[in-house]
Amino acid sequence: MKKDRRFVASICWIVIGAALMGVSYAGLADEYWSGMGTALFAIGVIQVIRWIRYWTNSAYKAQVDVEAHDERNRFISGRAWAWAGYLYVLVGAAASVVLRIAGYNEVSMAAGMSVCILMVLYWISWMVLRRKY
Amino acid sequence: MKNRLEALRKEKGIRQEDLAQALDVSRQTIISLEKGKYNPSLALAFKLARYFALPIEEIFDDSDERA
């Protein structure tokens, strides 16, 4: 059921991507939307190919199922997200200071704000998880 | 945490693939467990204990953690 929904989502990415590309080629939107449409279309196609392989190749299906539920993979995924968050805060904060010194005040502000948003999200997540566990 | 997984597995003559399949984990997880690079969840530790029909203490050695 969950997999069916994910397959439908993949089809949706293709449709939305194609629509964005079409609108862009018709001159109704700029290249930003064209780029986003191309990316969504490509992601959708790749996912559909993977789903077809999943449903038609039993060995691949078994491998994917084990990999998806493997506790070490989940542990690594959690650690990778944590590292990505730490690195984003460090790089974002440093970039904010460097850009401010270099005179790119607006970009510096955006970098600083994005770090603040991440910190707020971390705090909210911590509060929610503290109640859960 | 140290463990006797590799020795126990070899005693039973089981391949890493077979142990992984029996425990519903990847072979890489078994490799990491045997090398002591990854500590299993409580659920997986119990599965291992049941698989080898041994108490958890006879598979895992937490003396390093207690020191």
Cα separation of B21 and A52, whole Å?
A: 24
> Where exactly are the structural domains of chain A?
1-69, 71-133
Inspect the interface and report whether the beta carbons of B38 and A66 lie closer than 8 Å: no
Token representation of residue A52: 């077809």
Residue A77 to chain B, least CA–CA distance (Å): 14
Token representation of residue A129: 């998880």
Contact B51, B22 (CB under 8 A): yes
Contact A46, A11 (CB under 8 A): no
DSSP B58: G
Domain B2-52 falls under CATH 1.10.287.1080: no
Instruction: For residue A100, count other CB atoms closer than 10 A to its CB.
Output: 15
ipTM for this model: 0.88
Per-residue pLDDT of B24-54, as tens digits, reads: 999 999 999 999 999 999 999 999 999 999 9
Token representation of residue B17: 């693939």
Q: What percent of chain B lies above the pLDDT cut of 70?
A: 99
Cα separation of A17 and A40, whole Å?
A: 5
Round the average pLDDT of chain A to a whole number and report it: 93
A71 contact B CB<8A: yes
Inspect the interface and report whether the beta carbons of A66 and B41 lie closer than 8 Å: no
Residue A63 to chain B, least CA–CA distance (Å): 8
- Beta-bridged to residue B61, according to DSSP, are B2
Residue A19 to chain B, least CA–CA distance (Å): 40
DSSP B39: P
Inspect the interface and report whether the beta carbons of A70 and B29 lie closer than 8 Å: yes
Per-residue pLDDT of A19-65, as tens digits, reads: 999 999 888 888 899 999 999 999 999 999 999 999 999 989 988 88
Contact B1, B36 (CB under 8 A): yes
Inspect the interface and report whether the beta carbons of B29 and A69 lie closer than 8 Å: no
Type and span of the H or E element at B3: strand B2-3
Nearest to A24 by CA among A15, A16, A33: A33
Cα separation of B29 and B47, whole Å?
A: 14
